[in-house]
Structure 1
Amino acid sequence: MRKEVLVTVRGTQTNDWGEKETIELITKGNYFQKNRCYYIIYNESEISGMEGTTTSVKAEQDKVTLNRMGTAEMKHVFEEGIPDDGNYVTPYGRFFSCVLPWKVEVDLTDVGGSINLEYEVELDKQKIGYNELSITVKEV
């Protein structure tokens, strides 16, 4: 089962003052299942600020691995209550990054579904806000 799907990625970041910024990307991607995990692969665009980057999402029942490769590079594992450290590499430099997920919901089947993540983000040991990330997959 490997198919082309419509991927909707909606990210909302809330800073310490309660100000919210939301970005939504709708694009075609690939979707498949391997070893009881679902994979979503899509290309970022100018809207996300990561044009030239491919994002791969590996979804397990209680764990999501987000891997970006290209002009921006980053890999984080989202498991409720477990901090994950990594590096965020951009054309402007490398930053230490950490995510602390407090909500990881995976509701995927062979025909699509959704992933919902809520987490705190730190860059170079500075908290930069709270994020909500929703990824939905629909057959084309």
Structure 2
Amino acid sequence: MKKDVLVKVRGTQTNDLGEQDSIELITEGRFFIRDQHYYILYNETCLSGMEGTTTSLKVEPRRVTLNRMGTAEQKTTFETGILNYSFYVTPYGTMRISVLPSKVEVDLTERGGSINLEYELQVGQEKISNNQLEITIQHLENPV
């Protein structure tokens, strides 16, 4: 059964100089369970710079797979200690990126919950930043 939810996404990026950038997106999405895995779907907005892109998350107890389709395309798997390579396709070109997660924390039930990811982001083979991504899911009938 698919449920309408409020999806809050907060991303923080810290470079080697300790400078931080943060972005927060709050949008409506869909939340459902299939084959004992949680799925979250939402549309990106101009705030994220990916308007016209749909993001889906497949959430397992120790692994989160992010899949973006539309004006930007990307499929990345977050699993603690495992380097994952992927391509990030935009209207401006394609980049090879990789993530090395140090934390993949999932606290979801059919009522909602949160996902907390901490990872190193690399472009090519060069470290760009340390990132934190917090995703919170709340049912629309009782948002906080």
Matches within 5 A, 1:68-79: 68-79=68-79
Structure 2 distance, partners of 1:130, 1:21, is: 11
Matched residue SS, 1:47 = helix
AA matched with 2:42: Y
Choose 73-82 or 120-129, whichever is displaced more: 120-129
Following TM superposition, where does structure 1 have runs of at least 4 consecutive aligned residues deviating by more than 6 angstroms? none
Structure 2 distance, partners of 1:124, 1:51, is: 25
**TM superposition shift of 1:46:** 0.7
1:58 is matched with which residue?
Answer: 58
Give the number of aligned pairs.
Answer: 140
TM-score where L is the length of structure 1:
0.98
**TM superposition shift of 1:124:** 2.0
Matched residue SS, 1:114 = strand
Matches within 5 A, 1:22-61: 22-61=22-61
AA matched with 1:14: T
Structure 2 distance, partners of 1:54, 1:102, is: 26
Structure 2 distance, partners of 1:51, 1:126, is: 27
**TM superposition shift of 1:87:** 0.3
AA matched with 2:124: D
**TM superposition shift of 1:43:** 0.3
Matches within 5 A, 1:1-140: 1-140=1-140
Choose 128-137 or 118-127, whichever is displaced more: 118-127
Gaps of 5+ in 1: none
Structure 2 distance, partners of 1:28, 1:68, is: 16
Cα deviation, 1:37-62, whole Å, max 9, x if unaligned, reads 00000000011111110000000000
Cα deviation, 1:42-85, whole Å, max 9, x if unaligned, reads 00001111111000000000000000111111111100000000
Compute the RMSD of aligned alpha carbons: 0.6
Structure 2 distance, partners of 1:102, 1:32, is: 27
Structure 1 distance, partners of 2:24, 2:100, is: 22
TM-score where L is the length of structure 2:
0.96
